[in-house]
Amino acid sequence: MQIQILFTIILLPCSYGLRRPISEKLSVAVASELYPKAADSGQCMAYYRVPRTASTVSQKALQACPSLKYLDHKSAMAEASFGSNFPTKCRKVLVMKDPCERFRSAYWKRVDDLDATVAMDLHEDEVTAEGKANLIMLAKQFKTKYPTMKHLLKQLQRDYPKGLPSDPPKTSKENTLNLEPKSGHNIIFWPTAWFYNKATAHPVCYSREHLLDDLEKVTDSLGCSKSTSLWESARHKKQKTHYPKGMNEYPEMSSEECSAVKQLYRSDYELLEKHNCPH
């Protein structure tokens, strides 16, 4: 009998909440039941870092867990596009977020030329001065071509009149998404469906509470004691945002823009409905 595994994940607006009572942490089931003795049994478990799903704040704690195979943006992209290097039954945890919310966050990060830290494989404090200058240049190029979210959506609709495909094209990372200027950083706009394999995916439903509590349950179930102090540090770390200058939140997305996202990211909405995730 196949058991469907779901989490509920929540992001706080500025910093992540302190530890709550265990009875309140996980809304569906405790992780020890979801992943019984995974580390002891040698069972394969991986985490796919889907862009713009609050992955940065949990990155260090997840990477400190040796029993969890951590795939950053590029590794997850290659894994999803070109086939698995893991055992067939390796379970892959990934966060699923409402596409309109995710697209809005992705756009403002992609055009952020004031604090451009879009490097896909580095902690934000590991970006060099030279690397940051290059990221700023790329952000400026992108913002010049797509000065508003509407411009970007119109271009994607022209390129994908039937919506983005449910599976990623098997090509280089720069060409996977037909979007100029060509760049590996355009992975930020990849549909979540391109990271999803129905045989192995175990989605985490993104909402607005207990993100770190739920993910800590996963590392706890794997016996990853090294992650404990890192989760505590993450709870007190201010969230990294890319709000436009002078604003303390992302500009609202219009109903027309959200409708365009729903058409383009139709496969993502189907996955949200399949797994009873909020949208």
Q: In whole angstroms, give the CA distance from residue 25 to residue 212.
A: 9
Sheet holding 69-71, edge to edge: 7-10, 201-207, 91-96, 45-48, 69-71
Q: In whole angstroms, give the CA distance from residue 135 to residue 155.
A: 22
Question: Would you state the pLDDT for residue 164?
Answer: 96
Residue 270 inside a domain? The answer is: yes
Domain that holds residue 60: 7-274
Q: How many CB atoms lie within 10 A of CB 56?
A: 17
Question: Would you state the pLDDT for residue 174?
Answer: 65
User: Dihedral, CA atoms, 55, 221, 276, 264, nearest 10 degrees?
Assistant: 30
HSE-CB of 101 using CA atoms within 13 angstroms:
13
Domain count for the chain: 1
Question: Would you state the pLDDT for residue 214?
Answer: 79
Residue 279 inside a domain? The answer is: no
User: Hey, which residues does 207 pair with through a beta bridge?
Assistant: 10
Question: Would you state the pLDDT for residue 212?
Answer: 81
Question: Would you state the pLDDT for residue 85?
Answer: 61
pLDDT along the chain (279 residues), means of 10: 39 42 34 42 79 87 93 78 64 90 93 65 60 81 95 97 89 78 87 89 81 82 92 81 80 96 97 91
Q: What's at 15, amino acid-wise?
A: S
Residue 148 inside a domain? The answer is: yes
Residues 6 or more apart whose Cβ sits within 8 Å of residue 216: 61, 227, 228, 231
Question: Would you state the pLDDT for residue 4?
Answer: 42
Residue 226 inside a domain? The answer is: yes
In this structure, what token pair is assigned to residue 129?
């001065």
Residue 1 inside a domain? The answer is: no
Residue 238 inside a domain? The answer is: yes
Residue 24 inside a domain? The answer is: yes
Picking from 177, 180, 181, 211, the residue whose alpha carbon sits closest to that of residue 194 is 177
Residue 2 inside a domain? The answer is: no
**pTM for this one?**
0.79
Question: Would you state the pLDDT for residue 146?
Answer: 97
